[in-house]
Amino acid sequence: MEDVKAYIETGILELYVLGELSQDEKSQVEEMASKHPQIKAEIAEIERSLEAYAAANAVEPPDQLRDRVLNSLLTTFADDSKFPSKEFFENDIDDEVDEVVTPHDNVVALPAVKSGSFYKYAFAACLVALIASIAAIYSLNERLNDSYGQIASLQSRNQSFANRVNLLDNEINIFHDPAFKLIKLQGTPKTPASQLTVAWNPVKKKVMIDMQAMKLAANDEAHQYQLWAIVNGKPVDLGVFDAKPDSTGMIEMNPVANAAAFAVTLEKRGGVPSPTMSQMVVIATI
Amino acid sequence: MSPKRKISLTEEELVLALRNREKIAADALYDMYSSSLFGVISRIITDTAIAEDVLQETFIKIWNSFSSYSAEKGRLFTWMVNIARNLSIDKVRSKDFKNQSKNHELENNVTFIDEQRNTVYKPELLGVKDLVEKLKPEQKIILELVYFKGYTHVEVSEELGVPLGTVKTRLRMAIIELRKYFN
């Protein structure tokens, strides 16, 4: 026991705690400590008092340093390359701290690896979630584009309905407008079954023909019907039109103010400057 | 002492949590020990920004090399404060630091620490008043130089011009005073 006391009195244990001993001296102290509980207790006392001394001299670091430090630790959480810490031992050969405590790899390796793989799985899970999200966004985007297409086609159909309604409105207005005269052109002896209705507004000089009620033989590709007005005894060209079995609506022809008669002849496509009387199909005088 | 809520664990719980690399361990580690470690670091390194960097490096090293800590061989704080002190001394002696401090090229550590000494010894930095009174001046100086300035006992011996054995004895006596005071 005297030996132990003398050993303690040399002050070597204080230097041990302060990390000031060489590797050999350290091993020696550790061996002594494992043999003599008194030495072990003495070391613990020295440690405790120096820890209290440091606490009594503590300096509070600035608040913002806490986040900085903790973030720098947490970024190493998922990083396998940061541990185990072998590189520290290689790089800091003269670092006394690493000599104070020799590594106990066998004890600690397992939990470290365990939690490392946890973060690997967490990372993998995040990756899967990311891919699923991208797929979901992609398919939603497809459907969104489909919807845009449908909206566009609905809008164009809506527009064509609106146009049609406008057109029909115009036709109804014509029939309701007292200024319009409805003139029924009757077939000539050559074409007794033919009929055509011309709506004429002498005030606005407007001339329309009713395609729906028209009874004219369908023309071929080389020919077209041509409408004429007889003004002051002379024929005036009011334009050409086609007669098809499925014609609908009304079409507007060239304007004319004074007309004594209306007539239609079958002419070559595009019309001619003056009517071919032998080809007259319908006529009406006012 | 602190208005903020801080996490505090027993040393055993903390060591276990650190081994498992739990996030709470990092929080608790910082809350429990940052001011004590910063006290040591900021006395070795007077430049606040550099001292803060070293505190950060200290925690990173504690965190990353925790597998090399063994509870059988000593208290957690002893291991950590030695990391802090070694990183601080490395920094003070590094070329960068010397350049930053605008010091001249120095031949060896002892003369360098001599130059550092004009920023060194401030008795008022010893926080607890009656403790200061209990320690003899030569004990205070040794504790200050070894614990807070990072001198080796050999350097203290040269610095104070006293034999190595005397340094060891005085250091031991000073720590015995601390033990009486704190226990």
Q: Is A69 on the interface with B (CB under 8 A)?
A: yes
Q: Is B175 on the interface with A (CB under 8 A)?
A: yes
Mean per-residue pLDDT over chain B, rounded: 77
Is the CB of B147 less than 8 angstroms away from the CB of A50?
yes
pLDDT greater at residue B116 or residue A212: A212
Q: Rounded to 5 degrees, what angle do the CA atoms B18, B24, B30 make?
A: 80
pLDDT the model gives residue A55: 85
Nearest to A49 among B153, B171, B175 (CB): B175
pLDDT the model gives residue B54: 93
Average pLDDT, integer, range B1-12:
66
Side chain identity, residue A93? I
- Per-residue tens of pLDDT for chain A, all 286 residues: 568 888 888 888 988 998 888 889 888 999 988 889 999 999 999 999 888 888 888 888 888 888 888 888 877 655 544 444 444 444 444 444 444 444 444 444 444 445 567 888 899 999 999 999 999 999 999 999 999 999 999 999 999 999 888 888 887 887 788 888 888 998 888 888 888 989 888 888 889 888 888 888 888 888 999 999 998 888 999 999 988 877 777 888 999 888 889 999 999 998 898 898 888 889 988 8
Residues 85-114 of A with CB under 8 A from B: 85, 88-89, 95-98, 100-105, 107-109, 111-112, 114
Cβ atoms of residues B61 and A73 within 8 Å: no
Q: What span, in angstroms and rounded, lies between the C-alpha atoms of A73 and B21?
A: 10
Q: What span, in angstroms and rounded, lies between the C-alpha atoms of A229 and A244?
A: 22
Please write the tens of the pLDDT for every residue from B30-57.
999 999 999 889 888 888 889 999 999 9
CA proximity to B152, closest of B69, B72, B93: B93
Average pLDDT, integer, range B125-134:
58
Q: Is B146 on the interface with A (CB under 8 A)?
A: yes
> What's the alpha-carbon Rg for chain A, to the nearest Å?
54
Cβ atoms of residues A133 and A125 within 8 Å: no
Please write the tens of the pLDDT for every residue from B62-94.
988 888 898 888 899 999 999 999 899 888 887
Percent residues over pLDDT 70 in chain B: 75
Please write the tens of the pLDDT for every residue from B24-33.
888 889 999 9
CA distance, residue A95 to nearest chain B CA (Å): 7
CA distance, residue B133 to nearest chain A CA (Å): 14
Tell whether ipTM is more than 0.85: no
DSSP string covering chain B, please?
--SS------HHHHHHHHHTT-HHHHHHHHHHHHHHHHHHHHHH---HHHHHHHHHHHHHHHHHTGGG--GGGS-HHHHHHHHHHHHHHHHHHSHHHHHHTTPPP-SSHHHHHHHHGGGT--GGGS--HHHHHHS-HHHHHHHIIIIIS---HHHHHHHHT--HHHHHHHHHHHHHHHHHHH-
Q: Is B91 on the interface with A (CB under 8 A)?
A: no
CA distance, residue B73 to nearest chain A CA (Å): 7
Q: Is A57 on the interface with B (CB under 8 A)?
A: yes
- According to DSSP, the β-strands at A234-241 and A250-253 are unpaired
pLDDT the model gives residue B132: 63
pLDDT greater at residue A143 or residue B151: A143
Cβ atoms of residues B51 and A72 within 8 Å: no
pLDDT the model gives residue A1: 58
CA distance, residue B128 to nearest chain A CA (Å): 6
Q: How many CB pairs under 8 A join A and B?
A: 192
Is the CB of A47 less than 8 angstroms away from the CB of B182?
no
pLDDT the model gives residue B100: 57
- Looking from the CA of A52 toward its CB, the CA atoms found within 13 Å total 17
Is the CB of B56 less than 8 angstroms away from the CB of A68?
yes
